[in-house]
Chains A and B, each alone.
Chain A
């Protein structure tokens, strides 16, 4: 038996979580097809951070790569969780918006271009306040335009997760792929604790947070499509599958009636727990479009 077979596959795998935004994007494209747009040497930095004594980053934490997945044209937008928690500012927002707009234009002209969003983000960059809010509004409007022509695949790998305004972007995308380490939610645990008290949500209770916001629960209750282990090859395969699948028949966010009925049916006289929601929603009529 050679030494290599003694090493478990889990150790030999390439961890996706441990890669930075650029390396993550490059793991997904077909070899030799990826080309970065507005890379770090263009020095498109946030003009607002240095004024507040904060170091900017030369790509503003937003990596845009055009390329192919399974031979189909895609644009990948990866947010760098290590820089300001992947928050959206004026520049990173403009990069993401422009990438989605160009994909929509190509798609309208017959070259269907899917978007893959690697979201590690706390949402709006508070230091850029209204500009960050406006950026997310623009991203959403561009996403809705592209969504009529080509699928938008969101990957949340961790460990930052996807929160705030960018969780709306995730919710509007065609498919969501998550790892068990990833979290998805509107308000983060610390924000809820700060606003409503520790009785409402204890942000130091990791088991509680993951039971509610974690990838397993989100896929289990049907608000995300696929749970994939932290393995670059497996995540790339999941993304390829959804790029090839094309548009879902109905997007999750279009099923307003379904979700309105589900929420109305919840018994609020008792404390809701994650597992019963998973039973009620996950095994109920499968969400259309979800695989």
Chain B
């Protein structure tokens, strides 16, 4: 089990909806995305696969290079691949911005 944290101070756009997508089943993950009260984005990840913090950081950097939203994200991960992680992030962002 590994806990990871990332902060993106440049993501400032206010959002006011919540999104819950995915399931913490094998090869998949669950995302909770909600408005952040600090005016910046914060990510916490709980993953059952250890040793991939660099991959997580790369996927999060990529996501926030395109997404501007002051969101608080929590992820329960049961071994999602980087591609799945990015798709789930985009899905949650889509729900919030609908």
Cα distance, A287 to B80, chains bound together (Å): 48
Known: A40-B32, A56-B76. A82 touches B25 (CB 8 A): yes
Known: A82-B23, A83-B25. A55 touches B47 (CB 8 A): yes
User: What residues of B have a CB within 8 angstroms of the CB of A40 in the complex?
Assistant: 20, 30, 32
Q: Closest B-chain residue to A22, C-beta based? A: B20
Contacting B76 at CB < 8 Å: which of A41, A53, A58, A80?
A: A58
Cα distance, A80 to B46, chains bound together (Å): 20
Query: Interface centre among A39, A50, A83, A84, by most B CB within 10 Å?
Result: A83
Q: Does B12 contact A (CB under 8 A)?
A: no
Cα distance, A45 to B44, chains bound together (Å): 15
User: What residues of A have a CB within 8 angstroms of the CB of B30 in the complex?
Assistant: 40, 55, 57-58
User: What residues of B have a CB within 8 angstroms of the CB of A3 in the complex?
Assistant: none
Known: A41-B32, A41-B34. A57 touches B23 (CB 8 A): yes
* Chain A interface main SS type: loop
User: What residues of B have a CB within 8 angstroms of the CB of A1 in the complex?
Assistant: none
User: What residues of A have a CB within 8 angstroms of the CB of B77 in the complex?
Assistant: 55
Q: Does A54 contact B (CB under 8 A)?
A: yes
Q: Does B59 contact A (CB under 8 A)?
A: no
Q: Does B58 contact A (CB under 8 A)?
A: no
User: What residues of B have a CB within 8 angstroms of the CB of A20 in the complex?
Assistant: 23
Cα distance, A57 to B23, chains bound together (Å): 7
Interface residues in A24-62 (C-beta closer than 8 Å to B): 39-41, 43, 45, 50-51, 53-58
Known: A40-B32, A50-B1, A50-B46. A56 touches B24 (CB 8 A): yes
**How distant is B5 from chain A, measured CB to nearest CB, in Å?**
16
Interface residues in A50-102 (C-beta closer than 8 Å to B): 50-51, 53-58, 80, 82-84
User: What residues of A have a CB within 8 angstroms of the CB of B74 in the complex?
Assistant: 43, 58
Contacting A54 at CB < 8 Å: which of B18, B32, B48?
A: B48
User: What residues of A have a CB within 8 angstroms of the CB of B29 in the complex?
Assistant: 55
User: What residues of A have a CB within 8 angstroms of the CB of B25 in the complex?
Assistant: 82-84
Interface residues in B34-68 (C-beta closer than 8 Å to A): 34, 46-48
Q: Closest B-chain residue to A20, C-beta based? A: B23
Cα distance, A181 to B91, chains bound together (Å): 29
Q: Does B78 contact A (CB under 8 A)?
A: yes
Residues of A within 8 A of B (CB): 20, 39-41, 43, 45, 50-51, 53-58, 80, 82-84
List 4 A-B pairs, minimum CB-CB distance, nearest first: A55-B78, A82-B23, A82-B25, A57-B24
Q: 14 extra interchain contacts, Cβ-Cβ under 8 A, other than A50-B1, A57-B30? A: A40-B20, A40-B30, A41-B32, A45-B76, A55-B30, A55-B48, A55-B76, A55-B77, A55-B79, A56-B24, A56-B76, A57-B24, A58-B74, A80-B23
